[in-house]
Amino acid sequence: MTTPISGASLGFNSYTNLEVEPTKRIDVSDNGLFSPLDCELTIKDFPLVVDSLKGIRFSNIYFLGVGLGLDVAVLGLNDPKGDAKFLNVVVKHWLSESDAVVEPLGPPTWRILVEQLNEIEEETLGHNLQEKLERGEIPPNFSPLDCELTIEDLPLVVGSLKCIKFSNIIDLGIELGLDSEVLKLNELSEGANFLNFVVERWLSKSDAGMGSLETPTWKTLVKQLNLIGEETLGHNLQEKLERGEILPNVSPLDYELTIKELPLIVERLKEILPENISYLGVGLGINLSVLNSSQADNNQLLCQVVQRWLSKNDEVMTLSGLPTWRRLIEQLNKVDENFIAHNLEEKLELREVPPKLPQRLVPKASNTRLTRNDFASVSKILMRLPIGDLSELLIALGVSFSTIDKLNKNRDYMVIRWIDATDGVLQYSKYPCYNVLSQALCQNGHWGLAEEIAKTYPAEQGLEEVELSLPQFNESCSSMVPDMPLSHAEQQKLDKMLDKNISKGDFVYGGIVYRFINKLTVASYMELCLYLGISQSRISRIESHHAILIKDFWLQGMDNAIRTTRSLRTLLNAFKSMNQNGIANDLKAYCIEQIRKGVTHDSVPTPSLMTPPLNFRS
């Protein structure tokens, strides 16, 4: 056992700090060995650093912050927050090298931390920390695998295990130290929720009395996955943790933000002064030329700035790095939007503002194959949709737009065509079932109906889940279009189809527009708005269903869309301008396929020479 050593015995004076004898340290210059004290620290090491400082006196946290170079104004603002919270603030600012560090001592290292602990008469804490580092009891850098998990991490852990075989869940629970009898009793009753049940009992240490329950960590989980034959899942989980794709117990300020968070961020910035929007954009790495050339109003400009930042366009990665709340707060402070910055940081820390937008889960429904015997039940649900929405839904399910056109909006026959799996239905799913219908309803924005279906016709345990997906075509679209060239007559029909003016009430062509817009990634929706003449602010305020909204706004002639020809050719050109050549080829190939199937179209007027919207490239 190590005998407790007083500060005086180490050569510390109660008023001044004297260095520990160099011979007691591992010194790089003396013997060429790497010292863990000189290991550079980053924000990823936050849990490790905070844990190593848990013995510090509250009265010394302020002075530690001063010693580490933090602005006294920032410290004074956070001092009243309480012991643990104040320490967290100090460590986060130091490790992230934020603007609050006005007198940096160099890149954060353990050596700097130990020296500053000695300066504020926390010699025992500093000495113990140094000894533990040199003996290897504390790793010099934090490994996410060693992060202790709590019940708050339940969604994160369950999500990381979603690929586990159902038969292995009970074995995992037993290896994690849970009561096997409890697991066996609940395996059948919990059904699809059994994984959630096991993880919740593990994280809450419900079976701690069993004696074999280790502290819940990612390392323990990976180890037990390997033991039960889930080596691939364990390996992938470890790799994601080490690459930072899973962030365990990291401050919400350091979550990487994506285009999905655009509505959330724009909402938090709505009070920014108009004259500061461009300055904020420049600080985040948006090219000044882009900002100067924009003719958008203030709200649209704010949306464009945030969208380009989240999409990592221009010089974002060079000037500000990965988009995070912390980066945004730093830039807000730089443009004198201190109130917004402080308010945003506080609400994120208190979880009053979600750091990421939650993913809404599609409700699971029955996977049993539907037949004509189920027509009455299916029809009863779908008859509640307006005829236009029903047409779009069935097109998304694979029913041919030409079929819907020929049926002249006869609802019953439209539904029967899907149940009978005609046209391209089997390209979009394995077979018609309630689960596929539920997914299509969610995709088209009808969440209430989807949830009602899931409650009335719940998923059966043990049956393979049937997914709704877009048909799989290769890049050349050879599966859709034969290699033979178009005849003159076919080319004329294709031109007519592409140049047809689409009205807002045209459910057939509107369905085609929706189908191909829906192939874009979320990050591409805002760019498409630019090419179609739609204000991005209309879309940024909405959390989901962007494909439907873009289609509706465009066909209704909103904003600058009134200046475009609403036709499939305009959409085709927009895809090409966005370098979405695969989707553009798919759209053209789809039209050719319909022509070769004998679908006829009324003659269409020649497109008028309308002026394209600003920034449109034909």
pLDDT at 105: 84
Identity at 516, one-letter amino acid code: F
Q: What is the DSSP letter of 248?
A: T
Q: Are residues 138 and 160 in the same domain?
A: no
Q: Are residues 448 and 338 in the same domain?
A: no
Q: Total domain count for the chain?
A: 5
463 lies in some domain: no
pLDDT at 612: 34
Q: d(Cα 522, Cα 316) in Å, to the nearest integer?
A: 19
Instruction: Using DSSP, state whether 65 is helix, strand or coil.
Output: helix
Q: Are 144 and 218 in contact (CB under 8 A)?
A: yes
Q: Are residues 26 and 137 in the same domain?
A: yes
Q: Are residues 212 and 307 in the same domain?
A: no
User: Which domain range does residue 333 map to?
Assistant: 257-349
In this structure, the number of other CB atoms found within 10 A of the CB of residue 44 comes to 16
Q: Are 307 and 536 in contact (CB under 8 A)?
A: yes
Q: Are residues 192 and 296 in the same domain?
A: no
Task: Give the residue from 211, 96, 34, 541 showing the smallest Cα distance to 553.
Answer: 541
481 lies in some domain: no
Q: Are 396 and 515 in contact (CB under 8 A)?
A: yes
Question: Quick check: 47 pLDDT over 50?
Answer: yes
pLDDT at 472: 38
> pLDDT tens for residues 398-407?
887 777 777 6
Task: Give the residue from 114, 120, 133 showing the smallest Cα distance to 63.
Answer: 120
Q: Name residues whose C-beta falls within 8 Å of residue 352's C-beta, 6 or more positions apart in sequence.
A: 346
Give the CA distances from residue 212 to residues 147, 209, 317, in Å, rounded to whole numbers and listed in that order: 19, 8, 46
Task: Give the residue from 209, 167, 204, 164 showing the smallest Cα distance to 187.
Answer: 167
299 lies in some domain: yes
> Which of residues 409, 435, 456 is at a domain's end?
456
Give the CA distances from residue 376 to residues 371, 383, 412, 413, in Å, rounded to whole numbers and listed in that order: 10, 10, 9, 12
pLDDT at 616: 35
pLDDT at 351: 64
pLDDT at 249: 53
> pLDDT tens for residues 419-436?
998 887 887 788 999 999
Task: Give the residue from 144, 153, 130 showing the smallest Cα distance to 45.
Answer: 144
Return the higher-pLDDT residue of 221 and 98: 221
473 lies in some domain: no
Least confident window among 373-377, 529-533, 565-569: 529-533
582 lies in some domain: yes
Q: Are residues 236 and 154 in the same domain?
A: yes
Give the CA distances from residue 596 to residues 342, 486, 494, 584, in Å, rounded to whole numbers and listed in that order: 62, 10, 10, 19
616 lies in some domain: no
Q: Are residues 244 and 261 in the same domain?
A: no
Q: Are 37 and 114 in contact (CB under 8 A)?
A: yes
Q: What is the mean pLDDT of the chain?
A: 75
Q: Are residues 127 and 36 in the same domain?
A: yes
Question: Quick check: 315 pLDDT over 60?
Answer: yes
Query: Residue 256 forms beta bridges with which residues?
Result: 324
Q: Are residues 165 and 87 in the same domain?
A: no
Count, residues in the chain? 618
pTM of the entire predicted model:
0.34
CATH code assigned at 389: 1.10.533
Confidence of residue 143 (pLDDT cuts 50, 70, 90): low
> Which of residues 96, 112, 142 is at a domain's end?
142
Q: Are residues 387 and 316 in the same domain?
A: no
The percent of residues in the chain predicted with pLDDT above 70, rounded, is 76
323 lies in some domain: yes
Confidence of residue 329 (pLDDT cuts 50, 70, 90): very high
462 lies in some domain: no
Q: Are residues 136 and 158 in the same domain?
A: no
In this structure, the number of other CB atoms found within 10 A of the CB of residue 520 comes to 18
Q: Are residues 583 and 492 in the same domain?
A: yes
Query: Residue 458 forms beta bridges with which residues?
Result: 365
